[in-house]
Amino acid sequence: MSNILRRGRLEASQDEEILRYTSSMEADRWIFYADIAVDLAHTVMLKEQGIINAEDCSKILAGLLKIREEGMEKLDFSYEDIHISLESRLIDMVGEDVGGRMHSGRSRNDEVATCIRLVLREELTGLLEEIFALRTTFLGLAEKHTSTLMPGFTHLQHAQPTTLAHHLCAHEAALGRDFDRVQDAFSRVNLCPLGAAAFASTGFNLNRKRTEELLGFEGLMENSMDAVSSRDFLIECASVFTNLMINLSRVAEELVIWSSSEFNFVELDDAYASTSSIMPQKKNPDTAELMRGKTGVAVGALMSLLTICKGLPLSYNRDLQEATPNIWRSVETVRASVKVMEGMIRTMKVHSKVLEAQSITGFTTATELADTFVRETGIPFRTAHQIVGILAKDCESPSIEKIDSVSRIVLEESLSGRGLTENMVKEALNPVSNIQRRKVIGGPAPEEMRRYLSKRQTELELNKQEIATLKDIIDSAFENLLSVVGEYRKS
Ligand code: ARG
């Protein structure tokens, strides 16, 4: 059959090169099933509104189900997009007098926007599950290490002792916010543009609420011009993905550093490592490096989306076709990264002994020593800071005599004269008592960490239920659509 779209207004057929330049068929693989769902819902609604008759409806639905069964490969890839290719296949199957009625009151503009939202909604749900799994793994590992000392860093220099649990929970907290952001974006993705047609809606008596319901959306993109022309939901998701990817790349960076010989804090499982083609001894943390690198995909997708959407006049412009593949690239990379990170964290070997030994190198207890001076002798913190700073120049574990000699220079009196004892100094320099003291909300003290962990677990349990609810709404909508389709097919 001749091209059903170009046989009217246009004369020349497009050569290969132009077609390849303008077609979205390849990227449309992502929306094949969604497009059929949209076609099914629209056809059901057309029949219910008396716009097409029951017999035509039944034939169209049967044709669509057949196309769904045959899969994307059976479609004609010389069309400019999946929507028109699919319609052409339908017309081939059931004839134009029937199949040619499906597109009544609809445009590819509202159709494609609906498809993107349907697929993205699924991807976001999957991503929520994956972030959930990663957070669970972080918390599980943290639970085992509430007493495992390690050095905490600022400027990548040893700073103060902390615990591995505290460090892991910091990453989990960031992922928790990523989870919330995905959920939040979901609520704006899960709105139905269908019925907006080209942009000005339609004179057909469509029931937009019915297609919204059949596709399991939470509401409508009401303004029909906004419905077809806005892609801010893509920018929002790409931004959420970028944030998540950046959080992952920070973990990845630490895994790279931590598995170096200098640090030797962890060893990644062999499955996540590579070796050298020349240096047989090498075990490289390639998977973590790749994750750091793949962050560029998410950042790039966001930049592309922003640039494509900037300055577009209302309403639909074909530029928008270039926007869509960016979100697929980004979500694919981000989802894979979350999954791989989960495995990498779950299987890595923690070198607790090294962590503990390193927890005090670099005089990490200096802050606690200064704090002890303040609490026990009443001197101002700034003065204590100066005394410990001078001590730190040439030792990591000063004796009370040494402390007194410096304090005599700074204060013109000894701190032991103001009540400081050798025991107090010993306590201050002990990393275990350091972290035990840090029991303010969010601190690394094991008892505080246990409270924090149990709170996080409860929140995670809630998140689990939220994901289940989302999945349930989507799944039952789709089951309902198929059962309505089943009924109308028979009649
Ligand atoms: N492939 C197009 C896209 O992704 C579908 C909409 C085409 N609409 C049009 N007026 N040419 O945006």
What confidence tens digit (pLDDT) does each residue in 361-409 have?
Answer: 999 999 999 999 999 999 999 999 999 999 999 888 999 999 999 999 9
Hey, how many other C-beta atoms are within 10 angstroms of the C-beta on 22? 12
- For the stretch 42-97, pLDDT in tens is 999 999 999 999 999 999 999 999 999 999 999 999 999 999 999 999 999 999 99
For residue 138, give every residue at least 6 positions away whose Cβ sits within 8 Å of its Cβ, in sequence order, or none: 168, 169, 171, 172, 175, 345
Q: Is the CB of 85 under 6 A from ligand 1?
A: no
* Residue 467 or residue 10, greater confidence: 467
Q: Are 366 and 392 in contact (CB under 8 A)?
A: yes
d(CA 241, CA 104): 37
| Residue extents of the structural domains in the chain | 16-104, 109-195+225-359+458-475, 366-429
Please give the angle made by the CA atoms of 166, 169 and 175, to the nearest 5 degrees: 155
Catalytic residue among 13, 187, 260, 276: 276
**Does residue 83 have an active-site annotation?**
no
Show the tokens assigned to 125: 């749900």
**Does residue 171 have an active-site annotation?**
no
According to the model, what pLDDT value does residue 12 have? 74
- For the stretch 405-459, pLDDT in tens is 999 999 999 999 999 999 999 999 999 999 999 999 999 999 999 999 999 999 9
Alpha helix segments (H runs only) across 230-318? 232-258, 286-309
Q: Is the CB of 30 under 6 A from ligand 1?
A: no
According to the model, what pLDDT value does residue 13 have? 81
4 pLDDT higher than 60: yes
Q: Are 259 and 245 in contact (CB under 8 A)?
A: no
Give, as one character, the DSSP assignment of residue 278: S
Hey, how many other C-beta atoms are within 10 angstroms of the C-beta on 121? 22
Q: Are 39 and 102 in contact (CB under 8 A)?
A: yes
The β-bridge partners of 157 are: 154
d(CA 473, CA 478): 9
- Among 127, 129, 244, 237, smallest CA distance to 184 is for 237
Give me the residue label for tokens 């005090």: 360
d(CA 112, CA 225): 14
> Which atom of ligand 1 approaches the CA of 82 most closely?
1
Q: Is the CB of 64 under 6 A from ligand 1?
A: no
Q: Are 397 and 428 in contact (CB under 8 A)?
A: no
- Among 367, 383, 359, smallest CA distance to 438 is for 367
Q: Are 64 and 43 in contact (CB under 8 A)?
A: yes
Q: Are 289 and 256 in contact (CB under 8 A)?
A: yes
Q: Is the CB of 75 under 6 A from ligand 1?
A: no
Report how far ligand 1's centroid is from the alpha carbon of 479 (Å): 28
d(CA 487, CA 117): 26
The CATH superfamily of 109-195+225-359+458-475 is Fumarase/aspartase (Central domain) (1.20.200.10)
d(CA 379, CA 155): 29
* Per-residue CA distances from 149 to 176, 374, 447 (Å): 24, 25, 14
Q: Whose CA is nearest to atom 2 of ligand 1?
A: 321
Half-sphere exposure of 391 (CA within 13 A, CB side): 29
- For the stretch 262-314, pLDDT in tens is 999 999 999 999 999 999 999 999 999 999 999 999 999 999 999 999 999 99
> Which atom of ligand 1 approaches the CA of 320 most closely?
12
Q: Is the CB of 320 under 6 A from ligand 1?
A: yes
219 pLDDT higher than 70: yes
Show the tokens assigned to 304: 């592309």
Ligand 1 pocket mutation, candidates 24, 82, 119, criterion most atoms within 8 A of CB: 24
Report how far ligand 1's centroid is from the alpha carbon of 112 (Å): 7
Q: Is the CB of 9 under 6 A from ligand 1?
A: no
Give the pLDDT band (50/70/90) at residue 1: low
What does pTM read for this prediction? Answer: 0.96
> Which atom of ligand 1 approaches the CA of 83 most closely?
5
Show the tokens assigned to 489: 């097919």
The CATH superfamily of 16-104 is Fumarase/aspartase (N-terminal domain) (1.10.275.10)
Average model confidence (pLDDT) for the chain? 97
Q: Whose CA is nearest to atom 3 of ligand 1?
A: 321
Q: Is the CB of 135 under 6 A from ligand 1?
A: no
Is there a common fold for 16-104 and 109-195+225-359+458-475? no
Report how far ligand 1's centroid is from the alpha carbon of 2 (Å): 20
- For the stretch 156-169, pLDDT in tens is 999 999 999 999 99
- What sign has the CA pseudo-torsion 128, 138, 336, 235? positive
d(CA 207, CA 434): 66
Helical (H) or strand (E) element with 134: helix 108-144
Give the pLDDT band (50/70/90) at residue 6: confident
Q: Whose CA is nearest to atom 7 of ligand 1?
A: 108
Interaxial angle between packed helices 54-70 and 446-490, expressed in degrees from 0 to 180 and rounded to the nearest 10: 130
- Rounded to 5 degrees, φ, ψ at 151 are -80, 135
* Residue 5 or residue 114, greater confidence: 114
Catalytic residue among 2, 155, 261, 277: 155
